[in-house]
Amino acid sequence: MRAAILHQANQPLTIEEVEVSKPKAREVLVRTAFAGLCHSDLHMMEGLYPYPVPVILGHESAGVVEAVGSDVTYLKPGDHVISCLSVFCGTCANCTTGHPNICDNTEVKLLPGAARRYSWKGQVVHQFANLSSFAEQMLVHENALVKVEKDIPLDIGALVGCGVVTGVGAVFNAAKVEPGATVAVIGCGGIGLSAVNGAAVAGASRIIAIDTVSSKLDVAKQMGATDVINASNVDAVAAVKDLMDGIGVHYSFEAIGHKVTAEQSFAMLRPGGVATIIGMVPYGTKIELHGADFLRDRKIQGTSMGGNRFRVDMPRMLTLWKQGRLKLDHLITGHIKLEQINEGYAQLKSGAPLRNLIKFDS
């Protein structure tokens, strides 16, 4: 099969012929249909999050089951599936208490460098996030997949596999936004826009979208934002408080992964407010907050993939899309070929596109 390989940080990906193993117990071989270009992979490409190389990146994807290994009971060949990096065992303490997104069973959620599923020129090619979807085929544990109805377009399904389940999940699961609450979202990429849309579905009364790219703010309005702030020429915290009569918002979401914006998300809270950091802040980065601000019950928290229970959450989100309440089509910038992946990431770094999706030949 063909796959895009990262050989070294800050080097272009190369398209190579890679060998994939046959499915073993509990494993499923998937023919990849679409894979989204997510900013999380870019962090690995730029060396901000160290990862063993060579590696096949990619984690936001959907496809069709080709083969299953022994003991697989959930799926069969021909099933349409969405992948999720929140692979779970179902039996550890986190899974059995309703937090499968932070499953800690390393026999299922393999640690970086542990998987031996792909090879190139006789050497192991590492698997990213137990998925590696920048390839024509994925070999994964069955608990990294959710089955979906065959009338769901697989490009829409791929979006839900990361950006949407993370952004909407942060609203529903992590912050638990209440009807009538006020919300600010910093960063209007795929995840941030999903948080905007999720806040609208949750019934927030004011939803303030913040970005430095005016085209993304235009999309935010279509996704449910009641107010937008272009932070390229104003202080975002002051602008939010001006809109909120000086007292700030009930909930804020940081969807970029920068020190400054993480600190801003906390500063724009009203007393009793909750800031949720969705973005991947680089290793070693310290976030500085004023201790006195905690005295008014302000809180800051992180979230892993929106606190998802993806086999429940993703089908529900797709139902909301069918109802016209989640506006997933707005997130797709276009389809590209696997050979165009480096150009696609160059566009992503420019801040212009929302989501380019690799479309694999069927």
How confident is the model over 33-69, as pLDDT tens digits?
A: 999 999 889 989 999 888 999 999 999 999 999 999 9
Helix (H) or strand (E) holding 250: strand 249-254
Question: With 60 as the cut, is the pLDDT of residue 362 above it?
Answer: no
Helices (H) then strands (E): counts for the chain:
10, 19
Tokens of 290: 């004023």
Instruction: Output the pLDDT for position 21.
Output: 96
* Each residue's pLDDT tens digit, 268-281: 999 999 999 999 99
16-43 pLDDT, tens digit per residue, is 999 999 999 999 999 999 999 998 899 8
pLDDT recorded at residue 133: 98
The residues assigned a catalytic role are 38, 40, 43, 59, 162
Contact 133, 154 (CB under 8 A): no
Q: What is 167-304's CATH number, 3.40.220.10, 2.20.28.120, 3.40.50.2300, 3.40.50.720?
A: 3.40.50.720
Omega before residue 54 within 30° of 0, cis = yes
pLDDT at 291: 83
Question: Residue 194's closest CA among 230, 229, 226, 219?
Answer: 219
CATH code 3.90.180.10 region(s) in the chain: 2-151+327-359
Q: Evaluate whether 16 touches 142 at the Cβ level (below 8 Å).
A: no
- Residue 104 CA to residue 127 CA, distance in Å, equals 18
Euclidean distance between CA atoms 2 and 207, whole angstroms: 43
Indicate where the chain has its CATH 3.40.50.720 domain(s): 167-304
Spelled out in words, what is the top-level CATH class assigned to the domain 2-151+327-359? Answer: alpha beta
pTM for the predicted model, two decimal places: 0.94
**The 269-277 sheet, strands edge to edge:** 227-230, 206-211, 182-186, 249-254, 269-277, 299-302
